[in-house]
Every structure is written in structure tokens, then in C-alpha cells.
Amino acid sequence: MKMMAKGKIYKRAINEFGETTQLGVAQEECAELIAALSKYFRGDVDAIPKVQEEIADVEIMLEQLRMIFDRKGIDKAKKTKIQRLHFRILSREVESHERRAQAEV
């Protein structure tokens, strides 16, 4: 059996189960990732495979959410947030550099 392209599989899942069901599955998968990360934070190193599995589940559901919601709006918000993150990193680097320069005086 030849594997269908993942975009087609996601589209068929949305058509087959419906948007509401897939939104619910997305919620559940996010909750499972939160639970797996909590175990990892508690120092359970055996939680790593579970974290990886739940990241995969969430990524699969995020790709379906991008089909359900306006992906252009998502991309626009993402671009703004990445720019903001870049600015925060650069600001911290400048502050750190200034502190070091101050300490040398």
C-alpha cells in the first residue's frame, strides 16, 4: 500500500471525523504533551520517549488546525512573534555586553 501524502491524510481526517472532533483531539493531544512534560520536569528521564510521542501527536494536530483555521493569519502572527523573540534575544545580548563593559571600567 502506497502512503498518501500527509496533507491529504489530514484533509481526509477532517472530512471523515469533522472539524469539531479534530479540534477536540487537538485539545487532548496538547493536554497529553503537558502531562508528559510535567513528568519530565519532575525528573523522570523515562518520560523522554513519551514527550517525543506527544510532540509528534501535537504536530500532527497543529497541521490540521492550520487547515481548519486561516493559515495566513497563523503565519502572520508567527512572523510577528518570531521577530519579537529575535528582538528580545538581541536586547539581552546588548545588555549583557554593556554589563561586561561596565565591569571592566
- Considering the complex, state which of residue 53 and residue 75 has its C-beta at the smaller distance from Mg ion: 53
The secondary structure of 64-87 as a DSSP string is HHHHHS-HHHHHHHHHHHHHHHHH
Q: Minimal distance in Å, beta carbon 7 to Mg ion?
A: 21
Decide if residue 57 touches Mg ion (CB under 5 A). Answer: yes
Distance CA 105, CA 40 (A): 43
Nine cell digits for residue 6: 500527509
- Cβ proximity to Mg ion: between 32 and 63 the closer is 32
Residue whose cell numbers read 490540521: 64
Residue with cell 472530512: 15
Task: Indicate the residue among 6 and 92 with the shorter CB distance to Mg ion.
Answer: 6
Q: Which of 32, 35, 40, 50 binds Mg ion (CB under 5 A)?
A: 32
Q: Is residue 26 within the footprint of Mg ion (CB under 5 A)?
A: no
Chain-centroid distance, C-alpha 72: 17
Q: How far is the CB of 14 from Mg ion (least distance, A)?
A: 18
The residues binding Mg ion (CB under 5 A) are 29, 32, 57
